[in-house]
Amino acid sequence: MNLVLLGPPGAGKGTQAKVLNEGLKLPHISTGDILRDSVKSESKFGLEVKKIMESGALVPDDLINKIIEERLSKPDTNKGFILDGFPRTKAQAVKLDEILKNHPAGDIDLVLYFDSTLKVIIDRLSGRLVCRNCGENFHIKNVPPKKEMFCDHCGGELYQRQDDKEDTIKNRIKVYEESISPLVEYYEKQKKIRKINADFSAKEVYEVLTKLFKDEQLL
């Protein structure tokens, strides 16, 4: 099964990607994670990525496409995969379809769009804590770290992102929805988009997804 996950910040896409990864035993391919890892490795490529990210610019399509093409050439993707953070533009989606023409796992089966109400998103994001070192997310109420303001996984310091404030959250959601709409249209034409109500808990959303996969005869 080949899945693409879409959804605005705070819709629980990252959490669900992890649950799906464990439940379906399919590799979770997060472009955010790959980029962070490459920056940390300080390779020539990583330094290039770092420069782009620090300038605040989006990583160009060419570079992201190359990363995904290389990742999808690894044999652990032969039975399927979960894409998180890619594609982000219609051009990237077109490229992905091209890559998959010669891939053992075949085409994208479903594009899951995680949809949450603004109230829930604000609640999730305004309580979010991020590890400075490994990028892991926590939540003051929902997923508190064992040691206050320190990461459970690597011991790194946790912080609240500057853009996780209520007024900026509203703007980020609006910008996201506008920027993603050509991509959503692209997958609507292919009849692959499924909107998921992501206001529920991670466990409940997973149950909805499992039922969906059965209905679509993917499980």
128 is catalytic: yes
Among the residue ranges 45-53, 106-114, 144-152, 207-215, the one whose residues contact Zn ion (CB under 5 A): 144-152
161 is catalytic: yes
Length of the chain equals: 219
Tokens 């969906």 identify what position?
212
CB of 183 to Zn ion, least distance (A): 30
Which residue, 89 or 160, has its beta carbon nearer to Zn ion? 160
Set 66, 161, 195, 214: catalytic member = 161
Among 24, 122, 151, 209, binds Zn ion (CB under 5 A): 151
How deeply is 73 buried, as exposed, middle or buried, from its count of CB atoms within 10 A (0-12, 13-18, 19+)? Answer: exposed
Contact between 156 and Zn ion by CB under 5 A: the answer reads yes
CB of 52 to Zn ion, least distance (A): 23
**Peptide bond before 87: cis, by omega within 30 degrees of 0?**
yes
How far is 108 from 91, CA to CA, in rounded Å?
Answer: 15
CA angle 32, 77, 210 (to 5 degrees): 85
Ranges within 16-55 binding Zn ion (CB under 5 A): none
132 is catalytic: no
Ranges within 76-135 binding Zn ion (CB under 5 A): 131, 133-134
Set 79, 172, 192, 194: catalytic member = 172
CB of 15 to Zn ion, least distance (A): 16
Contact between 69 and Zn ion by CB under 5 A: the answer reads no
Pure H helices in 25-165: 31-41, 44-54, 61-72, 90-100, 118-126
71 is catalytic: no
DSSP bridge pairs for 2: 81
DSSP bridge pairs for 193: 111
Q: Dihedrals φ, ψ of 137, to 5°?
A: -100, 145
**Active-site residue list:** 13, 88, 128, 161, 172
Give the binding site for Zn ion (CB under 5 A).
Answer: 131, 133-134, 136, 151, 153-154, 156
